[in-house]
Structure 1
């Protein structure tokens, strides 16, 4: 039985913060592998400009290629959207019936969990929640437990640097002509430059 971390996101772009958090989660939660689940059509980002899937896929592959414990999952790429975490977990359970699935989220996502699609079903479908704290996430576990019974025993906090790096911040830096090179793995930086992503002109 393996322990699989499920690390979902739009990854537009994948940055060093993603890699540090995924690595810390793998180490501290004793994960055998981390599946990077690239979301093609995130329901909460409807109407926002998103880099084409093929380019985001290329960036994720470039970001994770040097770590054998990281693996791309096509579980959302190969099915029509919208994509919800509860459905993704059900499919992954079918694909990996013997394994324990640890869903990795940020503290801000944990705080918002009651607003997710079928949050109680989502909670039942995962074997654990690896929570990576983010600056200012203000998590109230007792409140969340009252709303979603059984949550507290599944939460495992990951002690990682509180990195104030986000994909949206990087996109803004690129658009504003500010330095951004070292926020990204070199291979991803090269792709952002190659495709001239996030520029306004």
Structure 2
């Protein structure tokens, strides 16, 4: 039995350093470093991941590659007398993941679009790159599509800022399957 083409793409991206993806990323990083923080791309870099997260090649759906700085918060060193522990300089980290921050920055740049989801496409020592899938809920092709019909409801506006994307749900602890969840209890 033959495997779908998307499985081969997923296998290559699962281990980038062992496959051709590592060389591709090395070349692409040199270009991406010189680009702006948010760049609209014509097609997804990881087609298998994008389609799994809801991307379809149709009008009203775009993909934006967003760059974000790695690491925690930067805080200047306190000048007055303090012992090092009380300076508040180390381990000042945001409560949101870098992926959520990238989604929110992209949503602010494209205010008429809604963030559907996002996925990792690369990182180096200083930055990470995510591709964010955006949908225009007012576009006629989107309004007519039954798959995206739920976006017409005004209660879904600003879903990225309320943690409704996949990365947002993960950060809010809604994707855990552990003790106490309905699927974990066996009777």
Task: With a CA cutoff of 8 Å and minimum separation of 6, indicate the structure with the bigger relative contact order.
Answer: 1
Radius of gyration: which is bigger? 2
TM-score, length of structure 1 as denominator length:
0.22
